[in-house]
Structure 1
Amino acid sequence: MIKRLVLQTVVWLAAMGALLFGAAGSFAWPAAWWYLIELGALSLWIGLWLARHDPGLLAERLAPFVQAQQSRWDRFFMIGVALVWCAWLIAMGFDAMRFQWSAPLPVWLVSLGSLCVFLSLFMCRFVFEANSYAAPVVKIQASRGHKVIDTGPYAHIRHPMYCAALLLLVGTPLLLGSWWGLAFVPVMVFGIGWRAVREERVLAEQLEGYSEYMARVRYRFVPLIW
């Protein structure tokens, strides 16, 4: 499984690099190199930890993002996410490097972007520790004894993984130096919020105790806000 983890990570990073540098028209983009290195190193760190502590969850994380068991609407959502993510990377390459539509971001904002990316993946590590059922697709994992998780970060918000994703969405354009990339973040956040609501409907209908959990933990992403 570790070989598969390394292979998928390398392929994923290579594809992202091709989109970023292809759109930029140059490999002389230090921010993009650092972004890929940061993502790759943190992803491998989490993956190797999972291989040792929760290989079942690692197998779920490495599975295809379109699966027969998941809800039909979620299949279309995940395909849409993949397309939007690719278009977003291309747009930021055009913006930050090829055409330089955005004025250069100050160093402190670029550094903040790198910190957000780090915190996003660091938070995922604690999410995975608390929730062995944190698959990337919406489905009930009956064969793995799927149950409601209400410990760790789940004691405070219902979707800590999505909370971590918000940091990644903000941090990516800041690190890459693209104001246009940042401008599209609210649309992507809306998409995540829409999915969270649909996911909760599935869990409330099919997972015993989830409705009671929703009543206990009021907030989805950010305490006291939503």
Structure 2
Amino acid sequence: MIARLVLQTVLWLAGMGVLLFGAAGTLAWPAAWWYLIEVGVLSIWIGVWLARHDPALLAERLAPPVQAEQSRWDRLFMLGIALLWSGWLVVMGFDAMRFRWSAPLPVALVVLGALCVFLCIFMCRFVFKANTYAAPVVKIQTSRGHKVIDSGPYAHIRHPMYCAALLMFVGTPLLLGSWWGLAVVPVMVFGMGWRAVREERLLAAQLDGYTEYMARVRFRFVPFIW
């Protein structure tokens, strides 16, 4: 499974690299190299940790993004987010390097971006430790005895993984130095919020105890906000 993890991570990074450097028109983009290295190292780290502590969840995380048990709307969402993410990387390559539409970001913001990327993946470790059912697709994992998780970060917000993703959304354009990339973030946050609402409807209808969990834990992404 480790070999599969490494292969999929390398292919994923290579795909992002093609989009970023292809749009930039140059390989001389240190921020993009740092971004890919940071994401790659942290992804391998958390994958190796999962292989030791929860191989069943790692198998779910490595599964295809479109699955038979998955809701039709989530299949469309996964396709849409893949297209949006790809277009987003291209826009940032155009903006930060090829056409330089935006003024360079202050170094402090670039460092903040790198920190946000780190915190996103670091936070995911706590999510995975608490929730062995944290698959990347929306489905009820009946064969694995799917049940409501209300410990760890789930005791405070209903979607801690999405909360972590918000840091990735903000950190990526900051690290890459793209104001235009940052401008796209609200669209991505809206999409994630839409998915969270649809996901909760499915869980409330099909997973015992989820309605009661929603009543106990009021906030989806950020405590006291939403």
Give the structure-1-normalised TM-score: 1.00
Cα distance in 1 for partners of 2:189, 2:147 equals 27
Cα distance in 2 for partners of 1:82, 1:186 equals 16
- Residue 157 of structure 1 deviates from its aligned partner by 0.1
- Residue 29 of structure 1 deviates from its aligned partner by 0.2
Q: Corresponding residue for 1:174? A: 174
Cα distance in 1 for partners of 2:79, 2:139 equals 16
1:194 alignment partner AA: W
Deviation per CA, 1:133-191: give whole Å up to 9, x if none.
00000000000010000000000000000000000000000000000000010011000
Cα distance in 1 for partners of 2:18, 2:73 equals 29
Match of 2:211, SS state, is helix
Cα distance in 2 for partners of 1:82, 1:4 equals 21
Q: Percent identity?
A: 82
Q: How does 1:107-126 map to 2 (within 5 A)?
A: 107-126=107-126
2:183 alignment partner AA: A
Q: How does 1:123-134 map to 2 (within 5 A)?
A: 123-134=123-134
- Residue 26 of structure 1 deviates from its aligned partner by 0.3
Q: Corresponding residue for 2:93? A: 93
Gaps of 5+ in 2: none
Task: Give the count of matched residue pairs.
Answer: 226
Cα distance in 2 for partners of 1:77, 1:212 equals 27
Runs of 4+ in 1 over 2 A off after TM superposition: none
Cα distance in 1 for partners of 2:84, 2:168 equals 15
Cα distance in 2 for partners of 1:122, 1:162 equals 13
Match of 1:118, SS state, is helix
Give the structure-2-normalised TM-score: 1.00
Q: Are 1:196 and 2:196 counterparts?
A: yes
Cα distance in 2 for partners of 1:68, 1:82 equals 19
Cα distance in 2 for partners of 1:135, 1:202 equals 15
Match of 1:137, SS state, is coil
Match of 1:140, SS state, is coil
Q: Are 1:33 and 2:33 counterparts?
A: yes
Q: Corresponding residue for 1:9? A: 9
Deviation per CA, 1:112-139: give whole Å up to 9, x if none.
0000000000000100000000000000
Q: How does 1:202-221 map to 2 (within 5 A)?
A: 202-221=202-221
Q: Corresponding residue for 1:60? A: 60
Match of 2:200, SS state, is helix
- Residue 31 of structure 1 deviates from its aligned partner by 0.2
Match of 1:103, SS state, is coil
Cα distance in 1 for partners of 2:137, 2:102 equals 35
